[in-house]
Homo-oligomer: A and B are copies of this chain.
């Protein structure tokens, strides 16, 4: 089968053997925003040479802005819930093949403000198989960071923080960016830690953001240090306000799923704040999609 992890900014395809092992994989910067509605053509080009009839997709490709909108399933959700919510499509551009879209998950426990995810649930499904049946906290950092609680093998809480997006817009479009190097800069642990410490002080995030400005104004941090300071400040606020820090007793460990670069920053921050971490690759998506497909009976 072919597993497709298709998000807002990237497209990852995996060819899997019957046991779910990855035989081949490809990646392109062709997120659903970039492919401009040409979903079939984009996918066909990406899986060229792979003739597997069964294609299972997860991520924003199943959102209102994607190929086909798939209704969310509600928490608590596990592989069986997700499998039951899978929706099929047989597009004319892919004769003889069926596409299966994995649903996203909605947390409606706060009735006034639901929370949602699309794509992360596949990675979590794969991780769950490796965990015991107790309570676990999983963080998937990104443009919209997801904090997910798993209990007895089921996803039972979702909380999203717009950390990555706030970082990007403040850096690109606010006064703060004018003092910073605009090219991607190396991670500066000293500046990151200073931002992380600042996030624990009084005054709130809106005030702390202005401190990035005064740090530049009074030459306390250089143009190459400021991005790491801003990153530490935002990630610190995200972590301190997360469910992790509200719980008594505080969980001693968080599972991190994501790219190496982001995971390094989050692991550094969490360890600094006294929380242990276990890192997992974002390629878990392929394993999770395979598990959901098997649960649905799409493969043996």
Contact = CB atoms under 8 A, between A and B. Distances in A.
Given A161-B204, A209-B166, A210-B144, A113 B241 contact: no
Interface in A150-176: 159-163, 165-166, 169-170, 172-175
A85 interface: no
Interface string A194-223: 100010001111110111011101101000
B160 A165 contact: no
A70 to B, nearest CB: 14
Contacts of A116: 214, 217
A246 interface: yes
Given A205-B205, A205-B206, A206-B161, A211 B169 contact: no
Nearest to A194: B112
B114 A159 contact: no
A282 interface: no
Contact of A207 (B169, B206, B241): B241
B246 A113 contact: no
Main secondary structure of the interface of A (DSSP, over half): helix
A237 interface: yes
Interface residues of A, number: 44
Interface in A235-264: 237-238, 240-242, 246
Contacts of A159: 203, 207
Nearest to A114: B214
A204 B238 contact: yes
Given A165-B174, A169-B173, A173-B169, A113 B215 contact: yes
Contacts of A240: 204
Nearest to A215: B113
A234 interface: yes
The quantity of this chain's copies bound in the complex is 2
A161 B209 CA distance: 7
Contacts of A246: 202
Nearest to A197: B112
A188 interface: no
Contact of A172 (B161, B173, B207, B217): B173
A161 B241 CA distance: 19
A207 B159 CA distance: 7
Contact of A237 (B194, B206, B234): B206
B237 A161 contact: no
Interface in A100-157: 112-116, 144-145
Given A113-B214, A215-B113, A205 B237 contact: yes
A206 B233 CA distance: 12
Interface string A71-97: 000000000000000000000000000
Interface of A: 112-116, 144-145, 159-163, 165-166, 169-170, 172-175, 194, 198, 202-207, 209-211, 213-215, 217-218, 220, 234, 237-238, 240-242, 246
